[in-house]
């Protein structure tokens, strides 16, 4: 048996022996996702599973061990995720710390920053949020105005962020601030600070889905120390060079939002044929819907191959640096179409907004949520601009 | 296995790209189109395919080939597509060889040397109507003496006019739609009772209508087992469809490259038209679709090479996705070229015509989309 095959066998055995049964149920809604943090709300099994995985470093399997990771190779990480998928085991911990801040710190952070900030992320002890967009800075993110004034030993933050996911539940924020008004791109800094700081206020935004995952976040004379002690700076990378960090992170965010276009393994058509009936040939008995479902199956399977190829080429440094933009565009557009189809297949039953039968309008709320996919983290139109300029090298107007 | 080409495959890609660009390029295509020769391709070029080792990609090393797989066959086919190289490579060295690989050693000993040397051309006699419906084959093969007698008609037999051997799918029992009862035969095109009528297609390829009027073949012409040809046919179709998807991908990629170059150079209103957002967004969307199609085709090829039980599904996904994407590429290509896109002088229209013919080869996007639904059980 190769090393990788014995790793697979040991991993599967450990997962089977240690994963609580509740964590092998499918994720139904938001409350089934474990976010950790200082004021966590755990459902049964969530904390046990998070702690067990964190002890092995497997909440962040490919991070180095000294920062709380598992130190696994790319191939081993893939095996771990494959085995978790095969055994239908839930992710032990989700967080913007893992997806976004972590990669930024691993790339741009000092050793002191990595040792200080990464292990609590890996253990699920600190929940982070992202302070990027502002009311006047959406697609043109670099026009952001939230100011950070240098006051000697600290910065004084004033301004407003918007679309801050889960700001009301987060402990800390990684935030883009303006440290120099004379340069658009070279006057931005990437700062880390406590959401409990005096002067920070959050206000959830009610969306068309009726949910409020996003917040407005206000900063009024918030004091952010330049150092958290032991040489741990509150700024990642150089002061005024935060745009480099932000751009790097946007790549990660775009890859993450792109998902694999499917958010669910099974073919839509087979699911709805069971639900809505078949003709004597065993075919879904609405031929137009069947054709659309089959088209969607093709696109989902095709995009899944794309996601695999993107992951493989990204790790091997073989893909174009702007490729995450293409992934974000394609993945979110497929996901939106997929949810349109789910609504169409569900007919009038999925219009129910609050009934028990509709699980509180789960399908409709999910459909509405997907509309943000092609707006957040860079709109589809911006993605297409980046692809046409950076990959296809088409000229500026 | 990571989903990108390894170093050996990259080397093969480089040499295939150089070869097609040098020897089998669009100028070569136009030359053979305009001389209106009966075969539609250069036999000298076909010999060069053999010298490059391409015809032995799917042949085992013991039998004199390279012992490689569908990924490698696809690497060559993508370059064939990109350069519109006229050749019998797909029918002979990919689908044809794969059928022989599913049959007995004696057949391979008979046919492989000619394929490896580039002297032999194989064509596939499957379709009986205007659309690819291999499950509806009715052509009859009835027992006669030591062998069989073939009666019926086949069409869209690509390279059928130049082929020395046809791989023929016929019914030895049962009726159209039955799983069992199909048998595949290797039939010499000089057989008595076999008549070929070659026709030129929209893309300048030559295909034949073939009539079988009591064509007698020996029992040793059977590929695989009598009545069990369904499995052989499936294996041949998998190879041909994955290969055709790869060639289609090359056509789409070639068309996209030509178009992007064109809109970077063409000026209207004193402005390079490639700077207009209306074109940029459509071109970027096309790039995105081409990338997805490329991943899908490679995934299908890798799954075939691994012998995955789900390979057939992915092959259909690849044929459908590559087909739809390349159709988008050639349509956008002609439109973005404007008036010159309608002229014979510019190459973009040739890509559009090639795509149309490849789309019908071994099932179009609709056919494969329906198969994917069936394989998913709905």
pLDDT per residue as tens digits for the range B271-299: 999 999 999 999 999 999 999 999 999 99
Closest CA to A176 of A133, A231, A215: A133
Whether B224 and B170 map to the same domain: the answer is yes
Q: Can you list the domains of chain A with their CATH numbers?
A: 3-94 (1.10.540), 128-241 (2.40.110.10), 259-391 (1.20.140.10)
Whether B268 and B248 map to the same domain: the answer is yes
Rounded to 10 degrees, the C-alpha dihedral B369/B374/B377/B378 comes to 70
Whether B91 and B138 map to the same domain: the answer is no
A395/B275 CB distance under 8 A: yes
- Give residue-wise pLDDT tens across range A361-390: 999 999 999 999 999 989 999 999 999 999
- The pLDDT value recorded for residue A266 is 67
Q: Does any CB of chain A come closer than 8 Å to the CB of residue B321?
A: yes
- The pLDDT value recorded for residue A189 is 98
Whether B169 and B286 map to the same domain: the answer is no
Whether B94 and B153 map to the same domain: the answer is no
Share of chain B above pLDDT 90, in %: 98
Whether B207 and B238 map to the same domain: the answer is no
Which residues in chain A touch residue B369, judged by CB atoms under 8 angstroms apart? 291, 294-295, 298
The two structure tokens encoding residue A189? 């800094």
Whether B218 and B318 map to the same domain: the answer is no
- The pLDDT value recorded for residue A296 is 96
pLDDT band at A8, cuts 50/70/90?
A: very high
Q: Is residue B351 part of a domain?
A: yes
Contact A51, A93 (CB under 8 A): no
pLDDT at residue B64 is higher than 90: yes
Rounded to the nearest angstrom, the minimum Cα separation between B179 and chain A is 16
Q: Hunting for tokens 């697609």 — which residue is that?
A: A139
A283/B296 CB distance under 8 A: no
Rounded to the nearest angstrom, the minimum Cα separation between A243 and chain B is 25
Closest partner CB to B3 (pick from A282, A312, A396): A312
The count of other CB atoms within 10 Å of the CB of residue A216 is 18
Residue A70 C-alpha from the chain's centroid = 20
Closest partner CB to A388 (pick from B283, B295, B317): B283
What is the maximum alpha-carbon separation in chain B? Answer: 78
Over range A162-181, report the average pLDDT: 96
Whether B263 and B349 map to the same domain: the answer is yes
Domain residues for the domain of B45 are 7-120
Share of chain B above pLDDT 70, in %: 100
Q: List, by residue number, the catalytic residues of A.
A: 253
Distance between CA B170 and CA A158 in Å, rounded? 79
Contact B205, B86 (CB under 8 A): yes
Q: Is residue B207 part of a domain?
A: yes
Which of B203, B228, B253 is at the close of a domain? B228
Taking CA atoms, A4 is separated from A15, A54, A72, A73, in Å, by 16, 22, 11, 10
Three-state DSSP class for residue B213: strand
Contact A330, A383 (CB under 8 A): no
Q: Does any CB of chain A come closer than 8 Å to the CB of residue B265?
A: no
Distance between CA A39 and CA B66 in Å, rounded? 62
Which residues in chain B touch residue A383, judged by CB atoms under 8 angstroms apart? 284
Contact A242, A236 (CB under 8 A): yes
Distance between CA B2 and CA B7 in Å, rounded? 12
Contact A70, A63 (CB under 8 A): yes
- Give residue-wise pLDDT tens across range A80-118: 998 998 899 999 999 999 999 999 999 999 999 999 999
At A102, phi and psi to the nearest 5? Answer: -55, -55
Closest partner CB to B317 (pick from A302, A323, A395): A302
Nearest chain B residue to A323, by CA = B288
pLDDT at residue B65 is higher than 70: yes
Closest CA to B283 of A385, A119, A201, A336: A385
Distance between CA B174 and CA B163 in Å, rounded? 29
Over range A283-310, report the average pLDDT: 94
Which of B120, B135, B154 is at the close of a domain? B120
Q: For chain B, how many residues are written?
A: 378
Tell me the CATH number at B52. Answer: 1.10.540.10
Which residues in chain B touch residue A397, judged by CB atoms under 8 angstroms apart? 271, 275-277
Tell me the CATH number at B239. Answer: 1.20.140.10
pLDDT band at A259, cuts 50/70/90?
A: low
pLDDT at residue A328 is higher than 70: yes
Distance between CA B66 and CA B60 in Å, rounded? 6
Q: Which helix (H) or strand (E) holds B181?
A: none
- The pLDDT value recorded for residue A1 is 65
The count of other CB atoms within 10 Å of the CB of residue B336 is 21
Contact A134, A159 (CB under 8 A): yes
Give the contacts of A97 (CB within 8 A, at least 6 positions apart): A121, A126, A127, A128
**Residue A129 bridge partners (DSSP):** A173
Distance between CA A74 and CA A79 in Å, rounded? 9
Taking CA atoms, B322 is separated from A47, A321, B244, B252, B289, in Å, by 46, 24, 9, 8, 9
A305/B299 CB distance under 8 A: yes
Distance between CA A338 and CA A335 in Å, rounded? 5
Distance between CA A22 and CA B156 in Å, rounded? 57
Sign of CA dihedral A45, A48, A50, A52: negative
Please spell the DSSP secondary structure of B309-374, one letter per residue: TTHHHHHHHHHHHHHHHHHHHHHHHHHHHGGGGGSSSSTHHHHHHHHHHHHHTT--HHHHHHHHHH
Distance between CA B128 and CA A163 in Å, rounded? 60
Nearest chain A residue to B282, by CA = A384
Whether B214 and B253 map to the same domain: the answer is no
Taking CA atoms, A100 is separated from A198, B50, B123, in Å, by 25, 52, 55
- The pLDDT value recorded for residue A263 is 47
pLDDT at residue B10 is higher than 90: yes
Q: Is residue B359 part of a domain?
A: yes
Q: Is residue B1 part of a domain?
A: no
Which of B208, B228, B248 is at the close of a domain? B228
- Give residue-wise pLDDT tens across range B199-215: 999 999 999 999 999 99
pLDDT band at A252, cuts 50/70/90?
A: confident
Q: Which helix (H) or strand (E) holds A164?
A: strand A154-165
What secondary structure letter does DSSP report for B307?
A: T
> Checking DSSP bridges between strand A128-131 and strand A172-178, what pairing results, if any?
parallel
Distance between CA B150 and CA B160 in Å, rounded? 17
Mean of pLDDT over chain B? 97
Helix axes A323-346, A242-258, angle to 10 degrees: 40
Rounded to 10 degrees, the C-alpha dihedral B220/B223/B227/B230 comes to -170
Q: Is residue B2 part of a domain?
A: no
Q: Which of A242-256, A307-321, B331-345 has the lowest mean pLDDT?
A: A242-256
- pTM for this one? 0.90
> How many domains in chain B?
3
Sign of CA dihedral A378, A382, A387, A393: negative
Q: Is residue B243 part of a domain?
A: yes
- The pLDDT value recorded for residue A275 is 80
Closest CA to A167 of A131, A137, A140: A131
Contact B229, B223 (CB under 8 A): yes
Whether B70 and B167 map to the same domain: the answer is no
Whether B260 and B291 map to the same domain: the answer is yes
Q: How many helices (H) and strands (E) does chain A have?
A: 12, 8
Contact B359, B202 (CB under 8 A): no
Distance between CA B236 and CA B91 in Å, rounded? 10
pLDDT at residue B269 is higher than 90: yes
Helix axes B277-306, A323-346, angle to 10 degrees: 80
Phi-psi region of A241 (alpha: psi -120 to 50; beta: other; left: phi over 0): alpha
Over range B171-178, report the average pLDDT: 92
A12 or A211, which is more confident? A12
pLDDT at residue A258 is higher than 80: no
The helix, strand and coil proportions of chain A, stated in percent and rounded to the nearest 5, come to 50, 15, 35
Q: Does any CB of chain A come closer than 8 Å to the CB of residue B14?
A: no
Closest partner CB to B321 (pick from A283, A298, A330): A298
Distance between CA A300 and CA A269 in Å, rounded? 12
Q: Is residue B79 part of a domain?
A: yes
Closest CA to B132 of B100, B163, B95: B95
Closest CA to B65 of B56, B73, B74: B56
Whether B242 and B368 map to the same domain: the answer is yes
The two structure tokens encoding residue B337? 């070229």
Give the contacts of B223 (CB within 8 A, at least 6 positions apart): B99, B100, B102, B103, B104, B107, B167, B184, B185, B186, B229, B232
- The pLDDT value recorded for residue A260 is 57
Q: Is residue B37 part of a domain?
A: yes
On the CB side of B272, CA atoms within 13 Å amount to 14
Three-state DSSP class for residue A326: helix
Residue A304 C-alpha from the chain's centroid = 17
């Amino acid at each position: 048996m190769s090393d990788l095959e014995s790793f697979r066998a040991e991993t599967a055995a450990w997962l089977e022996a240690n994963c609580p049964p509740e964590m092998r149920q499918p994720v139904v809604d938001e409350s089934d996702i474990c976010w950790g943090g200082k004021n966590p709300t755990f459902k049964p099994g969530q904390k046990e599973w998070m702690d067990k995985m964190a002890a092995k470093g497997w909440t962040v399997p490919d991070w180095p061990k000294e920062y709380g990771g598992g130190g696994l190779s790319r191939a081993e990480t893939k095996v771990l995720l494959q085995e978790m998928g095969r055994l239908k085991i839930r992710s032990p911990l989700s967080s913007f710390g893992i997806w976004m801040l972590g990669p930024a710190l691993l790339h741009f952070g000092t050793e002191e920053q990595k040792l200080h900030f990464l292990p609590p992320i890996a253990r699920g002890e600190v929940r982070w949020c992202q302070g990027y967009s502002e009311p006047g800075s959406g697609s043109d993110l670099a026009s952001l105005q939230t100011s950070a004034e240098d006051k000697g030993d600290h910065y004084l933050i004033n301004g407003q962020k918007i679309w801050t996911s889960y700001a009301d539940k987060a402990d800390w924020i990684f935030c883009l601030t303006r440290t120099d008004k004379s340069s658009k791109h070279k006057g931005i800094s990437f700062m880390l600070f406590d959401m409990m700081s005096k002067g920070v206020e959050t206000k959830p935004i009610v969306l068309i889905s009726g949910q409020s995952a996003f917040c407005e976040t206000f900063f009024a004379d918030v004091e952010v120390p330049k150092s958290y002690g032991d040489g741990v700076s509150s700024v990642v990378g150089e002061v005024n060079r935060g745009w480099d960090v932000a751009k790097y992170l946007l790549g990660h965010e775009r890859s993450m939002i792109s998902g694999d276009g499917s958010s669910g393994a099974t073919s839509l058509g087979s699911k709805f044929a069971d639900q809505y009936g078949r003709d004597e040939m065993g075919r879904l008995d609405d031929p137009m819907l069947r054709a659309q479902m089959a088209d969607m199956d093709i696109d989902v399977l095709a995009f899944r191959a794309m996601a695999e190829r993107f992951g493989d080429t990204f790790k091997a440094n073989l893909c174009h640096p702007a490729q995450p933009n293409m992934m974000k565009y394609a993945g979110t557009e497929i996901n939106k179409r997929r949810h349109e189809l789910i609504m169409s297949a569900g007919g009038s039953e999925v219009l129910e907004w609050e009934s028990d039968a509709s699980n509180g309008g789960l399908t409709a709320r999910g459909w509405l949520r997907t509309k943000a996919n092609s707006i957040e983290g860079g709109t589809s139109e911006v993605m297409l601009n980046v692809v046409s300029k950076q990959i296809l090298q088409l000229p500026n107007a | 296995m990571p989903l990108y080409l390894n170093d050996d495959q990259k080397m093969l890609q480089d040499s295939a790209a150089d070869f097609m660009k040098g020897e089998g390029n669009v100028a070569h295509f136009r030359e053979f189109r305009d001389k209106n020769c009966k075969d539609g391709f250069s036999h000298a070029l076909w010999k060069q395919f053999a010298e490059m080792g391409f015809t032995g990609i799917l042949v085992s090393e013991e039998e004199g080939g390279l012992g490689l797989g569908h990924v490698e066959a696809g690497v060559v086919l993508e370059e064939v597509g990109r350069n519109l190289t006229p050749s019998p490579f797909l029918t002979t060295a990919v689908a044809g060889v794969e059928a022989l690989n599913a049959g007995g050693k004696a057949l391979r000993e008979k046919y492989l040397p000619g394929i490896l040397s580039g002297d032999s051309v194989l064509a596939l006699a499957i379709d009986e109507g205007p659309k690819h419906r291999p499950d509806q084959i009715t052509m009859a093969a009835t027992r006669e003496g030591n062998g069989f007698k073939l009666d019926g008609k086949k069409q869209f037999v690509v390279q059928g006019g130049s082929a020395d051997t046809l791989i023929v799918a016929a019914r030895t029992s049962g009726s159209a739609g039955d799983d069992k009862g199909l048998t595949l035969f290797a039939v010499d095109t000089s057989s008595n009772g076999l008549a070929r009528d070659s026709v030129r297609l929209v893309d300048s390829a030559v295909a034949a209508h073939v009539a079988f009027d009591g064509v007698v073949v020996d029992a040793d012409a059977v590929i695989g087992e009598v009545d069990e040809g369904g499995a052989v046919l499936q294996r041949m179709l998998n190879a041909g469809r994955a290969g055709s998807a790869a060639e289609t991908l090359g056509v789409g990629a070639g068309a996209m490259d030509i178009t992007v170059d064109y809109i970077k150079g063409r000026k209207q209103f004193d402005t390079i038209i490639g700077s207009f957002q209306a074109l940029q967004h459509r071109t970027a969307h096309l790039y995105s679709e081409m990338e997805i199609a490329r991943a899908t085709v490679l995934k299908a090829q890798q799954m075939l090479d691994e012998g995955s039980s789900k390979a057939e599904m992915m092959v259909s996904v690849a044929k459908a996705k590559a087909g739809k994407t390349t159709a988008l590429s050639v349509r956008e290509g002609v439109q973005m070229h404007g008036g010159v896109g309608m002229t014979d002088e510019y190459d973009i229209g040739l890509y559009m015509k090639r795509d149309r013919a490849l789309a019908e080869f071994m099932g179009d996007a609709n056919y494969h989309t329906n198969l994917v639904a069936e394989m998913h059980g709905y």
